[in-house]
Structure 1
């Protein structure tokens, strides 16, 4: 190999090693190694390395832009509670843990084929946690299967994962072949069916009941919160049991105030319009309660604030000894006029407060949960009324009235892309703009939803992969792999798959897919066979990350929340990896023959 090939190989191996050892953030490492190639080429002028302009072309890749837009689309679903609306009615009916598995894993696998699975898992993690709390089950036995189900579902279409999108765009940009929207489904669907079946049968046997290292539900403070039944909402006329309020995780209804009467919170008690529900629970549960459709803050104070809903945040504030409101009730404190804030809940040590929130007389040390503008955090520093003021999480007020808009936009985008009415990029662009214009999310929320580190890694890795091709390093590696496989296309395909799977466990799936794509295409060219089966193998293998927490972002997302150990991934993920590998080796050669089709006349 020429020196440029050795340099490209050294850069690629250096990237792989540094990502595997995690000596720095993934986006920084990708940019550093891309910079090495750019600087060397610019100084030497060699044509065997991509020029600076060619090296950064990946940042304008159509697939990369599509991924960014899909993050914004899912933000609309998340901010409106559309995911909960679309799945809640189905998940809330789960009676047993096995029932919950079926109701969660199957829909997730199907949805992930049409959505980037990273935001899908992010949106469903709190829902899974709620279901497990209600059933008295360990969330660890469902969170890891949730991640794996999303990965399996993402294999089924080119839109399901960022890897599939990028690999397809790179392949079609350089070659005459075409990968259709549902091409990966011939492997993904049987792999998903077998994989979900395996997880349902063995998750309780192979995954220990872990506990998260930190849980907001462990907060010793017991908040008292008042919620009002929306007279035009879906809860009117339903019993407490049927409304799903009987088994709220970490929260219970202490009483119902109906006019001047106090009604016991019996399961069969039917809710009426404007009923005031007095609930007691931990902070995490109170925050989640506010996402429930059909419940409003008392007298709908939140809507009367002089701050748009999308700019509000939840703030926890402790009443100081100097507070001018001591001895006054919350209603007399006129929080909306004095602080442009609404009191959502109040806690006083481990005591349960009775009656309506507005009638609670403030004492020193009371903890208030406020809905207010983020500027309240700065104003509070100047006020003597509160101390220990802090933002609660990063959750925002959900726009339930726009939930159906978000769902319709999402479905329309998928249908337009699948039917090839427009490109996936165009469909995603239109959907992202529709989410903003219809106020499902704001432009700032859409920007914040984008994982820029993923996009940077993708753009940089495309440039590094191009250097492997330009320098001839990919062709040399492919030749060695073919020699190792004895020139057998099936063995070569298996070897490409296994090396890709190994790489994706050690580094990021997108980086592994892009680097191995170049090598896989080189192997197909050397063998004189069709490139498509090798491309499909790279797509599937780059996503089939089940052995470590670090190879796939959704695996890492549930790692701490589920309280997992690295050994849990290996024990539960190894059989799943073998299932997907076996399905791929059987199905790919049948669905995508190695024989190159003759050119059309």
Structure 2
């Protein structure tokens, strides 16, 4: 038991305080348990053959098919409309997003909605910071409605059936979440405006939620030498402003409109991502620090893209220069935003961190090539005028509906239904085989497979029973208080490690508690299922929260302010409703 406790403590500490990849740390923990004889090889690898692994992999392919053929984009534009107030806009946004995330991976839903919402909010004249965090929260809640809405629900239901003989119905989580969802939506619609940051003047460059500092150089012999700032058309830019000029290694601030440009000047602009797009179209300017001429893509095939760095980005903690973006991704870093604000200093010297938003110049196929790479949480193209072919959208939607019906009415197990849906997506050309392979998140599947082995270890060594007894002691033997302690412990673990790992580790501990108290285990399963996904207090607790931090320009405190009431709502609602629906 001591080896198991030490291994788990080391794993949690490494996850919380180091930058090593999550899957590597989990593999290390399982290897330690194997080498010390705590678990046998068959027990270590059993999780990788669990139906949950195949179900999740298939659902990734289904989500990729819906996204690639434009079905998600088509649905979002159909439902969003043109509301005339922020509250009506939020209402139009939250309901379809919540319902979509109940049958699709919420990360895929967010990846589709973020660029759509940015364009939609801009068209309506609203700040997108009022929409993106509520969107993340509602997709988290919506994902809890069904067994396939989030990987955590699948894992807990799979464990319940395979290890404890408890079968959870497809819509069972909705019995708890459905009453809470409209309350949360009402709160987000009416209080987001008060609690989330925004600027009064949405047209000024300073008000842009996602600011960059971009540097462009005056190309010798291209006609700008000798022209004033005004004559060059750089005085009244729509999406940014000229802040400084570097000339002969000297910085000139407070640039006057009559100041004359010289060949070789480096012009420093501050503004939104569209500012760089506007500057690329001015003859005589080129990116100053990006070595754009070394990008092996013809000028006509270049575009601007934004990416949000994930925890799997291999160059975290290194500078832009050390990351060799042009070599590794055939893209040039034009600017970096940290938590929605411009990063200062020379581009090449900026240290890259998880959650940073990068403005890139790349080939027009960059988004398609890297949208499923685990290096980035989000990849979106700016001002994308490429028309999406929606011809296959009805087919993809029909396949999704088929998977839901087969699972909901128990015609086939969820794993078989999902695998059938993934096969149909490829067979009907809704998604290509290559994109289907790239869409599968191997990191998540690896962590889940290893987590099963850790779960086996804490049961086998008696660690689950010991931890369960500790929680019972804290709960003074009352089942309802014990249920609350399980919720709080699971929720804290989710913030420290991952939602999937927290769920797998807490299921056997909850089983031990239920057995000791002599009560029904089912409400404990539901509580673990919901608590493991209910992460609203930090940007790092859930992937969708981190995805919107850069684009929305949010600070850590913004998540806490908006997320605390929803966290309390979910905790009280889940602990009260679960034993009413599944009595002790």
**Same-fold call, TM > 0.5?**
yes
**2:521 equivalent to 1:526:** no
Do the aligned partners of 2:97 and 2:138 also contact (CA within 8 Å) in 1? yes
CA distance in 1, matches of 2:272, 2:130: 24
Q: Which residue in the other structure is 1:391 paired with?
A: 363
CA distance in 2, matches of 1:452, 1:435: 20
Displacement of 1:96 in angstroms is 2.4
- 1:347 Cα shift? 3.8
Q: 1:114–1:154: 8 Å Cα contact kept in structure 2?
A: yes
Pairing 1:180-199 to 2, within 5 Å after superposition: 180-199=169-188
User: Any idea what SS the aligned residue of 2:366 has?
Assistant: coil
Decide whether the 8 Å contact of 1:506 with 1:550 is kept in 2: no
The structure 1 residue matched to 2:283, chosen from 323, 331, 349, is: 349
Of 11, 25, 30 in structure 2, the residue corresponding to residue 29 of structure 1 is: 25
Query: How far does residue 176 in structure 1 lie from its aligned partner after superposition?
Result: 2.1
- The answer to whether the aligner puts 1:69 opposite 2:58 as a matched pair is yes
For 1:369 and 1:350, locate their aligned partners in 2 and report how far apart those are by CA, in whole Å: 19
Deviation (angstroms), 1:87: 2.3
Q: Cα distance, 1:453 vs. partner? A: 1.1
**Alpha-carbon distance between aligned partners in 2 of 1:205 and 1:510, rounded to the nearest angstrom:** 33
Q: How far apart in 1 are the matches of 2:523 and 2:545?
A: 27
Higher Cα radius of gyration: 1
Aligned partner (choices 118, 123, 143) of residue 112 of structure 2: 123
Displacement after TM superposition at 1:161 (Å): 0.7
Are the counterparts in 2 of residues 38 and 51 from structure 1 also a CA contact under 8 Å?
yes
So what's the TM-score if we normalise by structure 1? 0.69
2:34 equivalent in structure 1: 38
- Cα distance in structure 2, aligned partners of 1:418 and 1:10: 42
Residues 508 and 550, structure 1, Cα contact 8 Å, conserved in 2: no
What runs of 5+ residues in structure 1 fail to find an aligned partner? Answer: 42-48, 222-248, 251-281, 287-315, 319-345, 352-364, 372-376, 382-387, 595-601
Give me the TM-score of the superposition, normalised by structure 2.
0.71
Q: Relative to 1, partners in 2 of residues 1:144 and 1:33: Cα closer, same or farther, differing over 3 Å?
A: same
Residue of structure 1 equivalent to 2:5:
9
Deviation at 1:461, TM superposition (A): 1.2
Distance in 2 (alpha carbons) for counterparts of 1:591 and 1:40? 43
The residue aligned with 1:240 is none
8 Å CA contact 2:302–2:364 kept in 1: the answer is no
Alignment of 1:94-493 (within 5 A): 94-209=83-198, 211-213=208-210, 347-349=281-283, 367-369=299-301, 390-392=362-364, 394-396=366-368, 398-493=388-483
Q: 2:69 aligns with which of 80, 88, 96?
A: 80
Corresponding residue pairs, total? 441
SS at match of 2:392: helix
Change (3 A) 1:350 1:451: farther
Rounded Cα–Cα distance in structure 1 between residues aligned with 2:4 and 2:394? 50
Tell me which residue corresponds to 1:536.
526
Residues 438-462 of structure 1: per-residue CA shift (max 9 Å, x gap): 1111011111112211111111111
Please give the per-residue CA displacement for 1:295-348, whole angstroms capped at 9, x wherever unaligned: xxxxxxxxxxxxxxxxxxxxx9x9xxxxxxxxxxxxxxxxxxxxxxxxxxx945
The 1:178–1:366 alpha-carbon spacing in structure 2 relative to 1, beyond 3 Å, is closer
* Alpha-carbon distance in 2 for matches of 1:420, 1:155: 19
Post-superposition CA distance 1:194-239 (Å, at most 9, x none):
11111111111111128554569x9999xxxxxxxxxxxxxxxxxx
Task: Assess, with a 3 A threshold, how the Cα gap between structure 1 residues 85 and 62 changes in structure 2: closer, same or farther.
Answer: same
Residues 284/394 of structure 1: CA separation in 2 closer, same or farther (3 Å cut)? farther
